[in-house]
Structure 1
Amino acid sequence: MVTLGFLPGDEQARVFSIRDQDGRLVDAQRWGGLFDLSLDGSGDRYTGACDLVEVARLGHFTDPSRPWEELGFDLQRRVTANEESEVLVMN
């Protein structure tokens, strides 16, 4: 699993960590070069629906026609260890 992040002003993602199939940390500096970290490449690869260059250009996520605005949240009840609680579920 690769954990990436974009900070304001970044033109490409930062690799925060890489873990192998057993959950062990892998040297991110050594293996991070195998990934397309550009905004365009990341948007295509990880969302399949939007261009992150456009996201960066807009600087906000307020247009309801954008794919990332189509997320919905529901509160569902869950019983855990004899306690009932509400959880937020993203759909």
Structure 2
Amino acid sequence: KGRKLRPALVLYEGKRDIVLAFISSRLEKYDPKTSVIIRKEDPGFEETGLKVSSIIRLDKIATIHKSLVAGKIGTLPQHFREKVNKKIKTLLTI
């Protein structure tokens, strides 16, 4: 049985493994404490490669082997990256 491809944000890329945050289109899962929302109407949305408005789930972080990554769909614009970085620092109380 084939696996469904899922988008994710690469937070760190090592030699063999990648640390990533899951991305979901289920906006009802949005929690402002743990997620960053990316709306289709936001500037730079088209750069992300996402098809619909989505949330980056910073409470769903995983380390996986690089061989499990199918490829790159897009790039996260700087203003979204700043939100992600700020939220990670808050979540990890750094």
Question: What is the TM-score when the length of structure 1 is the normalising length?
Answer: 0.21
Flag the structure with more relative contact order, 1 or 2, with Cα contacts below 8 A and sequence separation at least 6.
2
Higher percent of residues as helix? 1
Q: Larger C-alpha radius of gyration, 1 or 2?
A: 1
Q: Scaled by the length of structure 2, what TM-score is found?
A: 0.21
